Amino acid sequence: MTIVLTPYWSNGVQKLRMAPQPPPKPAHGLTPPALDGSIHALRCLAQLRSKDKNIEKYIYLTQLKDADPDIFYKLCLENMAEFTPLIYTPTVGDACIQFSQNYRRPEGLFISYKDKGKIGSVLKNWPRINEARISVVTDGSRILGLGDLGVNGMPISIGKLSLYIAGAGIRPSSTVPICLDLGTNNEKFLEDPLYLGLRQKRVSEAEMTEFMDEFMHEMSVLFPKLLIQFEDFATEKAFLYLERFREKYPLFNDDIQGTGAVVLSGFLNAAKLSSAASGLLMTAHRILFFGAGSAGVGVAMQLMSFFTLQGLSVQEARERIWFVDSQGMVYTARGRLAEHKKYFARNDYNGEPMTDLLDILDYVKPTALLGLSTISGAFSTEVLQTMAALNPRPIVFPLSNPVRLSECSFEDAVVNTQGKVLFASGSPFPEIDFDGKMLYPGQGNNMYIFPGLGMGAILSRASSVTDSMVEASSLGLANSLTPEEHAMGLLYPQVERIREISVAIATSVIRAAQKAGVDRSPDLRSMSDADLATFVASKMWQPQV
């Protein structure tokens, strides 16, 4: 395996070689005589580890992925726990913030509001149209918990697709990162001379919707085999465009559905352990959401559907759930609620607004506290101690990303619950030795779900992504823990097993697509489950080093 050191020239005309297009092999004599692929991989790993700052590691890895995707993905698969925090959350958050400063070369498609009316002609510039199978599309309006980052959101699409390739073996050349530029309301960026996007405020919702209609139509014409993942759209837009397009095109929203599925999966494993300690029925859990954005509501929907599958009525299932937003507990009598919050607003409370989280804990007595607020430190010592006083094994999931916006750290949660906590966070935390016992944090991040869900949707050629397919991905993940992982008290499998997990998830998703009648790969219908899993594994791209 070799590294390209020069730009790609063809017919005397410099062409842009769009990553991840495999670089041409340099002719004999243009690389050192003893350059050997697997030894070079070790050299690259040492170069990576020699850097102190994570953002420098990110830049190094971006360059390596571009120059030699095989070595990059080989190293990534062999060192998942080390690589994911660098190419994805949390470092990708810094990469987004600094995108306009650090930009080096093209990677992905930018489609701006100025392209309206001719979006199809922009899409045609994508160099690998026939190979395209999966696109991650963001409008940069709510990147992780970092807010409106405009066109600086591109690294999110790129980072998610790197995990599709590593985690589910999607071919690098089949991935299409897209950032839509509909302006930004980020004043700092609008004043920054280096900012790479349109220098204008975001267009109105009506203007955006017209743009999105054209974009989605042109995408379906040019890329008939493409699955679309919507990512990091601001909450209202996330719901709006998921509902608008989900019946018409194969697509899902990662923040609503991917996060919903991954948290349900971790919750199921946590609730079993919690119920074993308390004797409480699985359907009797009381879940308090701190934060009522797209992810919170997506998770609540997924939990509701689980409770109804367990025999609760829709009304009973809804009553297992409480929401807190920036104004305190969400209840109908409070009035003036955003559309997406109304469904979960409580009807059994009509007193004064309740804003203090400790008061709310006292009132709700939750068995599970889920944070999706992006308020760092919101789960204070007192909050954690209260959860421990209420429950023998409290479930505490601070899910906000990146790490510095997490509602509490793993260490805080462990110390303040005397090690009883059942914990999952959105971003990674280190394990802890507590009273001589190793305790492992779960990472309830949608990265466990979307690669397998996407792979299943692609292989089944699903015409749409149904709720049942998302649910199947969640159950597939929950059921993938090994006996050793159960013994370690894990809520999620170890990330090193991501490919195995993706096979299990994709297989369940394909079966769900078949059941729902949205699959368009009839050959897969008659396969046994074992053959289907083998088929999925055989379709995974492997780095060749």
Ligand X SMILES: O=C([O-])CC(=O)C(=O)O
Active-site residue, selected from the candidate residues 88, 164, 331, 448: 88
In whole angstroms, the minimum distance from the beta carbon of 96 to Mg ion comes to 11
Distance CA 453, CA 518 (A): 14
Q: Interacting stretch for Mg ion, rule CB under 5 A, among 191-199, 231-239, 475-483, 503-511?
A: 231-239
Would you say 401 is a known binding-site residue? yes
232 is in an annotated binding site: yes
Site for ligand X in 394-413 (CB under 6 A): 401
Looking only at residues 76 through 95 of this chain, which bind ligand X when binding is defined by CB under 6 A? 89
Which residue's CB is nearer to Mg ion, number 137 or number 287?
137
Query: What does the DSSP 8-state code read for residue 23?
Result: P
Residue 265's binding partner, choosing from ligand X, Mg ion, none, with beta-carbon cut-off 5 to 8 A by kind?
none
| Binding-residue total with Mg ion (CB under 5 A) | 2
DSSP helix/strand/coil, 288? strand
Q: Report cis status (omega within 30 of 0) of the bond before 177.
A: no
Give buried/exposed letters for 89-114 (b at 16+ CB in 10 A, else e): bbbbbbbbbbbbebeeeebbbbbbbe
Measured from the CB atom, the residue of 69 and 402 that comes closer to ligand X is: 402
What distance in Å separates the CA atoms of residue 135 and residue 519, rounded to the nearest whole number? 19
Residue among 140 and 476 whose Cβ is closer to Mg ion: 140
Q: CA-CA distance, 276 to 271, in Å (whole number)? A: 8
CA 522, chain centre distance (Å)? 29
In 359-472 the beta strands, taken as DSSP E runs, fall at 368-371, 395-398, 422-425, 432-434, 437-439, 442-443
Residue 139 binding: pick among Mg ion, ligand X, none (C-beta 5-8 Å cut-off by kind): none
Binding mask 113-152 toward ligand X (x if CB under 6 A, else -) reads -------------------------------x--------
Closest CA to 325 of 378, 384, 366, 392: 378
3-state helix, strand, coil split of the chain in percent (to 5) is 50, 10, 40
Q: Which of 302/401 has CB closer to ligand X? A: 401
- Among residues 68, 232, 471, 519, the one that binds Mg ion under rule CB under 5 A: 232
3 state DSSP class of 247: coil
Question: Choosing from 57, 65, 74, 160, which is the catalytic residue?
Answer: 160
Site string (196-235) toward ligand X, x via CB under 6 A: ------------------------------------x---
Residue tagged 């906000």 (tokens): 400
Q: How far apart are CA 404 and CA 391, in angstroms?
A: 27
Q: How far is the CB of 254 from ligand X (least distance, A)?
A: 5
Binding residue for ligand X (CB under 6 A) from 135, 386, 391, 445?
445
- Any catalytic annotation for residue 60? no
CA–CA gap between residue 536 and residue 73 (Å, rounded): 19
254 scored as a contact of ligand X (CB under 6 A): yes
x/- track of binding to ligand X for residues 408-437 (CB under 6 A): ------------------x-----------
Query: Which of ligand X, Mg ion, none is residue 445 near (CB under 5 to 8 Å by kind)?
Result: ligand X
* 255 marked as part of a ligand binding site: yes
User: Which residues, in sequence order, are bridge partners of residue 13?
Assistant: 10
> Angle at Cα 487 formed by Cα 486 and Cα 488, nearest 5°?
90
Q: Tell me whether residue 160 is one of the annotated catalytic residues.
A: yes
Question: Encoding tokens for residue 34?
Answer: 């003893």
Q: Which of 255, 325, 412, 519 binds Mg ion (CB under 5 A)?
A: 255
Nearest residue to the partner ligand X, using Cβ: 89
68 binds, among Mg ion, ligand X, none (CB under 5 to 8 A by kind): none
419: left (phi over 0), alpha (psi -120 to 50) or beta: left
The answer for residues whose C-beta is within 8 angstroms of residue 290's C-beta and 6 or more apart is: 324, 357, 369, 370, 371, 372, 373, 375, 378, 379, 407
* Between 401 and 409, CB nearer to ligand X: 401
- Residue 231 is labelled as binding a ligand: yes
Q: Which residues are annotated as a binding site?
A: 142, 231-232, 255, 401, 445
Q: Which residues are annotated as a binding site for (S)-malate?
A: 142, 401, 445
Residues recognised as catalytic: 88, 160
Site residues (CB under 6 A) for ligand X?
A: 89, 144, 232, 254-255, 401, 426, 445-446
